[in-house]
Amino acid sequence: MKTLIIIPAYNEQENIETVVENLKQNYSQYDYIIVNDGSKDHTAEICRKNKYHFIDLPVNLGLAGAFQAGLRYAYAYGYDMAIQYDGDGQHDAKYISSMIDAMQSGNYDIVIGSRFCDKKKPRTMRMLGNTMISFAIRLTTGKRINDPTAGMRLFNKRMIHLFSHNINYGPEPDTISYLLHCGANISEVQVEMHERVAGVSYLSMGKSIRYMLNMFISILFVQFFRPKEMI
């Protein structure tokens, strides 16, 4: 099974080398592709200098666009599975194999690398949004997703096709919720995540409220009106 690690990177000059070198040395059984999302720093130069595999987006598209570019690549080169993997060193590649095992044994469409599968969610402000989205998904689909905002997700071939060719299929919890409605098999596997090593996150504090509003309207309301994709 051909597996592709998709690494969206926006201004990750401090982290990208560590992340990719780790993948190249210890996890060479998987292919990887960096998607440089119009970074303003030296991310592209670093990739070029080290001869990394990377797609260089000429303008910034945001996470959804960068990830979709990676999925288009996965689709074009016939990959069976693709995993969304952060370029900032938060994700640990040692869990990829257990996620792939879970996908193959359970015939799942999406496997989420969850922080709170076996472990309890800490009751902090940062996790409040996570809990609320999880509750909204439970309310509307009846399925339990413990860590809907986790950024490490494994997609099978069918999902690669779906995500790479459609509008409103961002790598976000509302898409997960919508796909549950459509009857997709989605599972979680326990993983650990590191604190980010350097640089700033995609999601700033100011955008968080807007993000939550989008997620809630999408999960609690809009998804009931979206045409059901046959999965």
| Residue 209 interacts with other proteins (CB under 8 A): yes or no | no
Considering beta carbons, is residue 198 or 231 the nearer one to other proteins?
A: 231
Residue 228 buriedness (CB in 10 A; 0-12 / 13-18 / 19+): exposed
Among 58, 125, 195, 206, the residue binding other proteins under the rule CB under 8 A is 58
19 alpha-carbon distance from chain centroid: 16
Per CB under 8 A, contacts with other proteins among 89-128 are: none
Q: How far is the CB of 15 from other proteins (least distance, A)?
A: 24
Among 18, 60, 98, 131, the residue binding other proteins under the rule CB under 8 A is 60
Considering beta carbons, is residue 18 or 60 the nearer one to other proteins?
A: 60
Please name the residue that has the structure tokens 């009857």: 183
| Residue 200 interacts with other proteins (CB under 8 A): yes or no | no
Strand partners, 57: 37
How far is CA 55 from each of CA 8, 16, 34, rounded to the nearest angstrom?
9, 14, 6
Considering beta carbons, is residue 55 or 117 the nearer one to other proteins?
A: 55
How far, in Å, CA of 150 to CA of 166, rounded?
22
Which tokens sit at 188? 């979680």
Per CB under 8 A, contacts with other proteins among 121-180 are: 166-168, 174
Are 186 and 179 spatial neighbours (Cβ–Cβ below 8 Å)? yes
* Edge-to-edge strands, sheet with 3-9: 54-57, 31-37, 3-9, 81-84, 153-156, 110-114, 186-190
Are 65 and 134 spatial neighbours (Cβ–Cβ below 8 Å)? no
Considering beta carbons, is residue 58 or 142 the nearer one to other proteins?
A: 58
Among 119, 143, 201, 221, the residue binding other proteins under the rule CB under 8 A is 221
Are 146 and 117 spatial neighbours (Cβ–Cβ below 8 Å)? yes
Contacting range for other proteins; rule: CB under 8 A; set: 57-65, 87-95, 137-145, 195-203: 57-65
Contacting range for other proteins; rule: CB under 8 A; set: 27-35, 47-55, 144-152, 221-229: 221-229
Q: How far is the CB of 219 from other proteins (least distance, A)?
A: 10
Q: How far is the CB of 27 from other proteins (least distance, A)?
A: 31
SS3 content of the chain, % helix, strand, coil (to 5): 45, 15, 40
Among 25, 125, 227, 230, the residue binding other proteins under the rule CB under 8 A is 227
| Residue 208 interacts with other proteins (CB under 8 A): yes or no | no
Interaction site with other proteins (CB under 8 A): 58-60, 166-168, 174, 213-214, 217-218, 221-222, 225-227
